[in-house]
Structure 1
Amino acid sequence: MNYPLFVESDHTTKYKAFRRHYPRELYTKILEFYFNTTNLNLDDSDKKIPCALDVGCGSGQATVDLSHYCHRVIGIDGSENQLKNAPLKENIEYQCQIAENLTFLPSNSIDLVTVAIALHWFNIQTFFEQVDHILKPNGGVLSIWCHETSLDNLKADEILKNLSIYDLRSCWNDKTQIVIENYESIIDKFPYQQTKIKHLIEHEEEMSIDQFVNMIETWSLCQTYRKRYGEEKLKQLLETFTNNLAKCYAESSNDINSNNNNNAISDKKMIVKWTVHLHLMKKQ
């Protein structure tokens, strides 16, 4: 992993505080694929996957979710500060390891490998070779996902797109385009092509404008912007972004008008929408 992001203590603390968890439907699809079944009810099911490896786990958002559906979960990340912020549970083990070297695990020992919005940071070919070494044959599952973010206000959604495509454009690297394209440009590099399937999962959440902007600040693009232009420049960029969002929602609201102060407007609730692109494949 050649991109040392998500490593500074201040950033990893914010990452834990403001990054969101993933929808239950995502885990339903993973378990249904693993157990070769349909219409699985997570609340009623006593089926659990024996051992999962969550690669690039960060501060444990997906790792903790997986712990409800797996007997044992190993979360790995290249950032020690990320792992320090990860919640502890009896059936979770965290290790500071990189995706390109999974030799600390026995061959054919893992039932499920998950990668939550991290694949684009890896040396993909090397990672897939490592996965093939540690994933159990005859049914071991590799699960990879990323997501798109949109807003319920058309003008606000355009401002969000402009932030990523224009305002932060100078901070793009060769990995950025891969995730913006939802991994479509590297689909042919995925292993186990004969078993591969894809799900699109729609998910939405009510958040305040401030909560949403705090989440945006955890983006790697914002971290790169901070390093390149300084803390004050990033603060100014996000303040402008916040004010522009507030104006959009003020214009579309009957109870908030443009004369309100920004603090009141930034507390306004908004609907944030995610489309999760979930790729599932099995080792035969």
Structure 2
Amino acid sequence: MNYPLFVESNHTAIYKAYRPRYPKELYHRILEFYFNKVNIDEINKKIPLAVDIACGSGQATIDLSSYCGHVIGIDGSENQLKQASLKDNIEYHCSTAENLTFLPSNSIDLVTVATALHWFDIETFFQQVNRILKPNDGVLCIWAIGMPLLNNSKASEILNNFCQNDLNNCWSDRVNLVINHYEPILDKFPYPTTRIKHIIEHQQEMSIYEFVNLIETWSPCQKYCEIHGKDKLKELLKMFANNLVTCYIESTNDIVDRNFINNQMIVVKWIIHLHLMKKTIVDTH
């Protein structure tokens, strides 16, 4: 991974606190694909060994541990791994996605990448995946969670303005790949004859305070902080939060205290594109 993101200790702390977890439906789709079943209720066993690449502080790793016998979470940031959730059947290893040489060949049942592929040297990564996955049964699972959608039209305009104008010039070209759910690079994905996609809608209630803290974990906010400093970023996020509060106050019939609105739950929605593919002898590259 050539982009040293999510490494500063304060940033990894808010990453752990505010990054959302993924829905159960996503993991059920993975199990159905791995076990060649059409209904999760038909599955009463676990995937033996999974590797979660660029696991961060373990948002997906901890969930995978409920469906897998053992999970290895891998991330290039020591500070991310210090924040990671612990469980008896999870181990963590500090390494990049392109360096999986410590894993034996043909040994892994499942490799997952949760909204991180855009930061990789994908050709090198896919070579490593092809080496470590078990032939015929090994599954590669990549998903991308898109931009958040708000249940308030004026708040959506504020969010769009924040992303397009306030954070202008802070977005890496690579982020466009995840915004577009990796569609521009699907031709580079391995095992095309086995590949399928699921589109999963996921929504979550959170306060405006929590939502703004989630936004702060984004890489363009990290870049803005690098360019303008922490104080300027805090000012920008405070203005963003106040603008959102105003939108939700205007959508109610009562005059409500802003602090109350700041703690009121709002609905945030995401569209997740889940790409599943299986290593086959005839389809490897």
From 275, 281, 285, give the equivalent of 1:279. Answer: 275
How many residue pairs align between the two structures?
279
| Aligned residue number for residue 152 of structure 1 | 151
Q: 1:188-245, CA deviations, whole angstroms, 9 ceiling, x for partnerless residues?
A: 1100011111111011111111111111111111111111111111111111111111
Q: Which whole-Å CA distance do the structure 1 matches of 2:176 and 2:167 have between them?
A: 13
Amino acid aligned to 1:86: A
- Of the structure 1 ranges 103-112 and 174-183, higher mean CA displacement relative to structure 2 is found in 174-183
Q: Which whole-Å CA distance do the structure 2 matches of 1:229 and 1:170 have between them?
A: 12
Q: Which whole-Å CA distance do the structure 2 matches of 1:176 and 1:83 have between them?
A: 23
Shift of 1:261: 4.2
- Of the structure 1 ranges 184-193 and 262-271, higher mean CA displacement relative to structure 2 is found in 262-271
Shift of 1:247: 1.0
Q: Which whole-Å CA distance do the structure 2 matches of 1:38 and 1:231 have between them?
A: 49
Helix, strand or coil at the partner of 1:169: coil
Shift of 1:25: 0.2
Q: Which whole-Å CA distance do the structure 1 matches of 2:227 and 2:259 have between them?
A: 29
Q: Provide the alpha-carbon RMSD of the alignment.
A: 1.2
Q: Which whole-Å CA distance do the structure 2 matches of 1:80 and 1:180 have between them?
A: 27
Q: Which whole-Å CA distance do the structure 1 matches of 2:120 and 2:73 have between them?
A: 16
Write out aligned runs for 1:96-245 (5 A). 96-148=94-146, 149-245=148-244
Q: Which whole-Å CA distance do the structure 2 matches of 1:206 and 1:176 have between them?
A: 25
| Aligned residue number for residue 11 of structure 2 | 11
TM-score normalized by structure 1?
0.95
- Of the structure 1 ranges 164-173 and 19-28, higher mean CA displacement relative to structure 2 is found in 164-173
- Following TM superposition, the consecutive aligned residue runs of length 4 or more in structure 1 with deviations greater than 6 angstroms are none
Is 1:30 aligned to 2:30, yes or no? yes
Amino acid aligned to 2:87: K
Q: 1:72-118, CA deviations, whole angstroms, 9 ceiling, x for partnerless residues?
A: 00000000000000011110010001100111000000000000010
Amino acid aligned to 1:57: C
Q: 1:143-175, CA deviations, whole angstroms, 9 ceiling, x for partnerless residues?
A: 001112101111111221222222212111231
Helix, strand or coil at the partner of 1:53: strand
Shift of 1:47: 1.5
Instruction: List gaps (5 residues or longer) in structure 1.
Output: none
| Aligned residue number for residue 270 of structure 1 | 266
Whether the 8 Å CA contact 2:172–2:220 is kept in 1: the answer is: no
Q: Which whole-Å CA distance do the structure 2 matches of 1:31 and 1:264 have between them?
A: 41
Q: Which whole-Å CA distance do the structure 2 matches of 1:249 and 1:187 have between them?
A: 39
Q: Which whole-Å CA distance do the structure 2 matches of 1:282 and 1:158 have between them?
A: 40
From 87, 92, 95, give the equivalent of 1:94. Answer: 92
Q: Which whole-Å CA distance do the structure 2 matches of 1:46 and 1:275 have between them?
A: 28
Amino acid aligned to 1:247: T
Instruction: List gaps (5 residues or longer) in structure 2.
Output: 281-285
Is 1:72 aligned to 2:70, yes or no? yes
TM-score normalized by structure 2?
0.95
- Of the structure 1 ranges 176-185 and 135-144, higher mean CA displacement relative to structure 2 is found in 176-185
Amino acid aligned to 1:18: Y
